[in-house]
Structure 1
Amino acid sequence: MSNQKPYSNLNATLAIARASLRSILRSPSAVVFTLAFPLIFIVVFANIGGGGVTVDVGVAKGADTLSPIYKALTTVSVVRLNTQLTDSLLKKNLEKGSLDAVIDIKKQNAQPPYVVNVKYTKASLEKGNILKSLLNSILFRINSAVSTAPPPVVSLKEETVSGREYKYIDFILPGQLGFSLLSTGVFGTAFVFLSLRQTLVIKRFFATPVKRYSIILGEMLARITFGLTGALFIILIGHYAFGFTLIHGWTTVINMLILAFFGLLIFMGFGFTVSGLAKNESSVPPISNLITLPQFLLSGTFFSTSAFPKILQHISEVLPLTHLNNAMRQVAFEGAGIGDVGKELLILLAWGVVIYGVAIKTFKWEV
């Protein structure tokens, strides 16, 4: 009577995953793209800040945008006026520091003809002081232009609200985390399956009882393990070395890792598609770059998409990395839960359905 254990595809899947993970860890390019590049960008941007100084000012609904005060502000290059936000979003963004101030200009049938109400935030005192200085200069110039001495044309009413400081690391780290996940998902998956086909490893697997889904799941499990470990490393380095905000501590870390898991799963779909389209290893980078480069540049990885021209903002809104980055920032800084970023997850899910449908059509098991 034989004591041989029955064959287990689960064990085969785990064995493939372990072997693939060891292979990833031995690959310099995988470590560089997943860990080294994102950390280098985090160090650089965390220390130099966001580049040139820009004061983001929300304009209250109903504000007089035809007034000389508003027109004068539009000519100041460092002031970026936003007229698109609702009152609730103005309040929320002011408190979290993504707006430096909110301005409301009212025209009245009394003296003075204009009243300017400005709310600053303690989360951005330095930029608030810049705006305060600019406004005082503008109002002095307008009031001084009146030939007669009495009442001023404009009066200024100021208020400072409490808020949590929104540091540049709070913007840049989620973007670099997305950069890492996209690189791991696309380049890692594309290269490995193309290599497995060309070296006939997959063909040898077919001579064993290993199921096809075990090969796929094993490789995916290895990349997910590597990607999430890298994500955790980036988050913790960012928090302890540069003060990256984790509003709810370890709960926030777990929520970010859940988002990272969904993002990586979808980005691997792009990798499967590339591996099917590529004829050889030299054709993988060009095809992969067509997918990754627009997302690196247009998805708020390095710079806020609000600074882009309108046409680029519309393109940005379509890209999956944009929604992953936005969800990461909401969870980390604003304290949103997974349920609060449902819109972003639904868009990622839609991308997942589409890209895996394409991957099924293009993926090849043999050369």
Structure 2
Amino acid sequence: MAVKYSQWTALLAMAKASLKAILRSPSAVVFSLGFPLVILLCFGFIGDSTVSVKVGVDSATDTHSYLYQQLLKEKSLKLVTDKTNAELQSELKKGHITAILKIKELPAVDNIPSNAVQVYTSTAAVEKIGVFNAILNGVIRNADAKYYSHASVAKLEPLITLPGRRYTTIDFILPGLLSFSLLSAAVFSTAFLFYGLRQTLVLKRFFATPIRRLHIVLGESLARLVFQISGAILIIAIGYFFFGFTLVNGWSTFFEMLILTALGVVVFMGFGFVVSGLANSESTIPLFANIITLPQFLLAGTFVSVDVFPTWLQYICRIMPLTYLNDAFRKVAFEGLHLWNLGLELGVIALWGVVIYAVAVRVFRWE
């Protein structure tokens, strides 16, 4: 009795073989996992460090004065004391330091310290001079409050603190990094894979077997889906355990992010199918793929919020599918929303999926 050919067994065999090929490909592993992890580690170690203001100290400054000692305690202020006055002026003109500080201690009156403060700045240092002035004035006000008691026009009631979560750099960066790694890996790997299979006549050999064309695509897609979800698990785990990435609802948030990952991979693979259908040679694949990925890398809120762009450019940003995947990841991870609360984001991503696969069907070539 003849054994009936199983399409699903063939599909799983193709997926297994394709997954092995992906894991054996250094470029696939580097660009899908290595590159995102390097960026994640860079931003993770940078963390949420405060603004640092670099200020030179004039050689005539009395470093034993009360005011200077208080400035040394300011964490956001870096005082440069190892350069000559001429070197400091050169650094100031180049914008490498924000100001040059000169403090002269005056005779104390009734044991209250007194200082004359002189600040030099330049037009090259306008970016942070306001921050330095705020720090300096704050230190002076604190000193005044300590040594000069006086009545106040108002009584400050105790500060009321409401519970909340701190939105850190990693909470913004990790979702954008994860989304873009899904986009770039899905587009490039799918495009190169099916173009290569077509050019080397491997697809033609598949057609000599009983496996259906749909199951060929599903098998290759399943391999990439497993690989990208595994990469997402690794990225999220490193962000959570090492850099404090917020998973507000714990495991449920984690699994919802994986569902969004799967949706993103499926939709973005459609772009890869389009590129493989349009490309006439292997050298044109990066050109088409970069036309799709680079604008979204720059404009879809991957590393910079869409809100910082001009209003007219934000309309373009709001067309891109990566923008909505970024928003969905951030709303789930930090805000605690669930998938059923993301009607707009999921709707736009799904709409892009319908459109791009309709185009892929028209341009995709088996031979």
Report if TM-score (shorter chain) is over 0.5: yes
Structure 2 distance, partners of 1:192, 1:156, is 67
Residue number in structure 2 paired with 1:365: 366
- Flag structure 2 segments of 5+ consecutive residues without an equivalent: 53-130, 142-152
Listed as ranges, the matches of 1:165-314 within 5 Å are 165-314=166-315
Displacement of 1:311 after TM fit?
Answer: 2.3
Structure 2 distance, partners of 1:50, 1:311, is 30
Structure 1 distance, partners of 2:50, 2:315, is 24
Query: In the alignment, does 2:12 pair up with 1:6?
Result: no
Cα separation, partners in 2 of 1:198 and 1:247, compared to 1, 3 Å: same
Displacement of 1:161 after TM fit?
Answer: 3.5
Structure 2 distance, partners of 1:159, 1:193, is 60
Residue number in structure 2 paired with 1:127: none
Structure 1 residue aligned with 2:45, among 40, 44, 47?
A: 47
SS at match of 1:322: helix
Give the aligned length.
Answer: 273
Structure 1 distance, partners of 2:31, 2:316, is 25
Structure 1 distance, partners of 2:49, 2:292, is 27
Residue number in structure 2 paired with 1:65: none
Residue number in structure 2 paired with 1:101: none
Residue number in structure 1 paired with 2:111: none
Displacement of 1:51 after TM fit?
Answer: 8.7
Q: Could you tell me whether the CA contact under 8 Å between 2:44 and 2:239 is conserved in 1?
A: no
Displacement of 1:342 after TM fit?
Answer: 1.5
Residue number in structure 2 paired with 1:124: none
SS at match of 1:173: helix
Cα separation, partners in 2 of 1:156 and 1:199, compared to 1, 3 Å: farther
Q: Aligned partner of 1:178: which letter?
A: S
Structure 2 residue aligned with 1:26, among 13, 24, 27?
A: 24
After superposition, what is the alpha-carbon deviation per residue over 1:222-275, rounded to whole angstroms, capped at 9, x for unaligned? 111111111111111110111111111111110000111111110000000000
Q: Aligned partner of 1:25: which letter?
A: L
Listed as ranges, the matches of 1:348-359 within 5 Å are 348-359=349-360
Q: Could you tell me whether the CA contact under 8 Å between 2:48 and 2:168 is conserved in 1?
A: no
- Flag structure 1 segments of 5+ consecutive residues without an equivalent: 55-129, 141-151
Residue number in structure 1 paired with 2:321: 320
Structure 2 distance, partners of 1:50, 1:226, is 31
Structure 2 distance, partners of 1:342, 1:254, is 18
Structure 1 distance, partners of 2:313, 2:43, is 23
Structure 2 distance, partners of 1:156, 1:311, is 44
Structure 1 distance, partners of 2:33, 2:292, is 20
Structure 1 distance, partners of 2:197, 2:233, is 29
TM-score (norm 2): 0.70
SS at match of 2:209: coil
Cα separation, partners in 2 of 1:218 and 1:303, compared to 1, 3 Å: same
Displacement of 1:339 after TM fit?
Answer: 0.4
Structure 2 distance, partners of 1:9, 1:17, is 12
SS at match of 2:342: helix
Q: Could you tell me whether the CA contact under 8 Å between 2:170 and 2:245 is conserved in 1?
A: yes
Cα separation, partners in 2 of 1:204 and 1:166, compared to 1, 3 Å: same
After superposition, what is the alpha-carbon deviation per residue over 1:333-355, rounded to whole angstroms, capped at 9, x for unaligned? 11111101111000001101110
Structure 2 distance, partners of 1:365, 1:155, is 78
Structure 2 distance, partners of 1:51, 1:354, is 43
Residue number in structure 2 paired with 1:346: 347
Displacement of 1:47 after TM fit?
Answer: 2.2
Cα separation, partners in 2 of 1:195 and 1:155, compared to 1, 3 Å: farther
Deviates more, 1:35-44 or 1:317-326: 35-44
Displacement of 1:15 after TM fit?
Answer: 0.8
Structure 2 distance, partners of 1:215, 1:52, is 52
Q: Aligned partner of 2:362: which letter?
A: K
Structure 2 distance, partners of 1:167, 1:52, is 12
Q: Aligned partner of 2:293: which letter?
A: T
Structure 1 distance, partners of 2:359, 2:318, is 21
Residue number in structure 2 paired with 1:161: 162
Structure 1 distance, partners of 2:277, 2:361, is 9
Structure 2 distance, partners of 1:289, 1:50, is 31
Structure 2 distance, partners of 1:52, 1:275, is 46
Q: Aligned partner of 1:324: which letter?
A: L
